[in-house]
Structure 1
Amino acid sequence: MTTPPVPCPDEEPRWLSDEEQRAWRAFMHATVLLDDHLDRQLQRDAGMPHIYYALLVHLSQAPDRALRMTDLAQGVKITRSRLSHAITRLEADGWVRREECPSDKRGQLARLTESGEAKLREAAPGHVAAVRQAVFDRLTPEQTTQLGEIMQAVATALEPEGPCADLPWRR
């Protein structure tokens, strides 16, 4: 995996074509609206923001419903500081519990509680319906495949490897 080259300050920028500009603006418009739509749905129906739902999902899919905090931050692509704040709130609601990491005394685990699992089961149907209504009900099967391939290509290019990569969960 290589990172894209950084243009030299003396080089003329590669401006977007009209078609690229149209696609970029449509993408930005849709992602802002989608993020807001999903966040409002989860706040209204489950009393939690979208990021908290993502944290509960990641924990529910982990072995023993627990992950090291750094692995959880990486999984949901957020800073450790934002994760710590979110876990504090999820603990206060009784949905997550922090535990000492048995393999590393400096590390901590976040563990999904039974109450958190029940909350996730309660919230999931409405969230899936909102995702389906906002995205997949509007796409053909071919467009769904293309969307997955496009987003994977973008994500792969933006997630550089190596110890010096400036990624949110390392901050």
Structure 2
Amino acid sequence: MSGVEEFGSGQEAANDYRVLAFGRLLGAANRLEHLLGRDLEEEFGISHSIFELLLLAGRAGSQGIPVRDIAQARVLTSGGATRLVQRASALGLIERENSASDARIQLIRLSAHGEDLLLRASTRHVENIERHLLNLLSPGEAEVFSAAVKKISKHAARELPIMP
């Protein structure tokens, strides 16, 4: 077990500081996603998954983002990403176009309606992030937290296999 001693009991394993730290991270992320996602749904009629898709398309700008990159970024299968794109397209939030260099690649861009919704929803989302996360921390803690989460996320992304 690569340098980690085996646990003597289930209670010992469950109370290990590493297990607790990861559990708290997941718990906090799940609770925050529920709170912030519920608000996006109530205020703007979109799921958190659709909002994340709009953010990815917004980051890509006018060049668009391939569906396979959406799948990888959201940790979805290609079929899951396709269904997400179809839902956003049905709502008129994105536009799809085949890549000029490879017609097999579909590029996703924000529609004018999608950009408008993204701007309004992002303002509300940032208010909620500040209220439920950042305002609980001192400015120094928020900076350290942000850097640590970025480091962890980048490492996990590098370790993640290519999504099917």
TM-score band, normalised by shorter chain: 0.7 to 0.9
What secondary structure sits across from 1:110 in the alignment? strand
TM-score w.r.t. length of structure 2 = 0.83
2:153 alignment counterpart: 155
From the superposition, tell whether residues 122 and 102 of structure 1 become closer, same or farther in structure 2 (CA, over 3 Å). same
Q: 2:116 aligns to what? A: 118
- Corresponding position of 1:77: 75
1:108-155 Cα distance to aligned partner (Å, 9 max, x none) = 111211111111122121111111111111111121122123212322
Distance in 2 between residues matched to 1:28 and 1:62, nearest whole Å: 28
For the structure 1 residues 159 and 75, does the alpha-carbon distance in structure 2 shift closer, same or farther, using more than 3 Å as the test? Answer: closer
> Contact 2:99–2:106 at 8 Å: present in 1 too?
yes
| Structure 1 equivalent of residue 42 of structure 2 | 44
Give 1:140's aligned amino acid: S
CA distance in 1 between counterparts of 2:153 and 2:128 reads 23
CA apart distance, 1:53:
0.7
**Aligned amino acid, residue 161 of structure 2:** D
Does the C-alpha gap of structure 1 residues 68 and 24 become closer, same or farther in structure 2, counting only changes over 3 Å?
A: closer
Partners of 1:65 and 1:122 in 2: CA distance: 22
More displaced, 99-108 or 14-23? 14-23
Residue 65 to residue 129, structure 1, CA distance change in 2 (3 Å): farther
Between the aligned residues of both structures, percent identity stands at 24
Aligned mates of 1:13, 1:157 — CA distance in 2:
26
Offset at residue 73 of structure 1 (A): 2.5
Point out where structure 1 has 5 or more consecutive residues left out of the alignment. 1-6
**Between Structure 1 and Structure 2, which shows a larger proportion of helix residues?**
2
Who is 2:10 aligned against? none
The answer as to whether partners of 2:67 and 2:106 remain within 8 angstroms in 1 is: yes
1:166 equivalent among 144, 161, 164: 161
Instruction: Calculate the aligned-residue CA RMSD, in Å.
Output: 2.3
- 1:65–1:128 CA distance, 2 compared to 1 (3 A): farther
- The 5 A counterparts of 1:19-168 are 19-64=17-62, 66-160=64-158, 166-167=161-162
Q: C-alpha separation between the residues in 2 aligned to 1:156 and 1:77?
A: 13
- Alignment size in residue pairs: 158
Counterpart Cα distance in 1 of 2:15 and 2:73: 34
Using the TM superposition, give the Cα deviation of residue 17 of structure 1 relative to its aligned residue in structure 2, in angstroms: 6.3
Aligned to 1:56, the other structure's residue is in SS state helix
Q: Secondary structure at the match of 1:111?
A: strand
**SS of residue paired to 1:83:** helix
Following superposition, the deviation at residue 71 of structure 1 comes to: 2.1
Unaligned runs of 5+ in 2: 8-12
